[in-house]
Copies of this chain bind each other. A is one copy, B any other.
Amino acid sequence: MAKHIPTEGGLRRTKSAERRAEILEHTITLFAEQGTDASLRAIGGAIGVSHAALRYYFASRDELLVEVYRSHENERREQPAPRHASAVASMTRSAERNASIPGLVELYATLTTDALHAARHPVTHEFILNRFRRVRSELSEKVRESQLSGDLPADLDSEDVAALVTAASDGLQLQWLVDPEAVDPRRSLALLDHLLQPNEGPVL
């Protein structure tokens, strides 16, 4: 694997960043095919990277998992939802993008499950805690904007709505992956949107 570890100046930085991106990409494919419960060593074996090389880029399995997810999320955040999309509409948009990348919803489920054990998975816990806070805060702001413009009833607590919309989207993606014929996240999210904005037309 030594030939993959670059050795000079700028070239090193470029090659190193490329190599890191390559590992992230191969890892998500592996997750889609084989699940996320492999060790860092097993991941290295499966994607053809030595354990030492993998450790050069990622301190632990948890860090690799978090970075794979973060790289996809950053990509998605570069294409934000339209300015006036409702909280539910922008969550639906991101749920649909997640679903289109094989392995990503599985990875997200693994990260949120690992995050429940902060002592064993401190890096994952920190990442998921902050991600949930950021997602809720962004949705909450969207809700307050819609309340100011009269599109949402003013008596709803924006933070309770934000937690609800986030939860609904997460939970629906999970049910859909387990039983794709039985659950359509888009329909249930459209229903939630309709419940929040009762005057915005019929349910899907």
Contact = CB atoms under 8 A, between A and B. Distances in A.
A117 interface: yes
Determine how many copies of this chain the complex contains.
2
Contact of A164 (B116, B117, B188): B188
Contacts of A90: none
Contacts of A35: 116-117, 120-121
A53 interface: no
> Most B CB atoms within 10 A — which of A117, A125, A163, A172?
A163
Interface in A32-52: 34-37
A142 B166 CA distance: 24
A11 to B, nearest CB: 39
A170 interface: yes
Interface of chain A, main secondary structure: helix
A84 to B, nearest CB: 21
B112 A203 contact: no
A157 B115 CA distance: 34
Nearest to A115: B178
Nearest to A194: B156
Interface string A178-191: 11001110011101
A167 B171 contact: yes
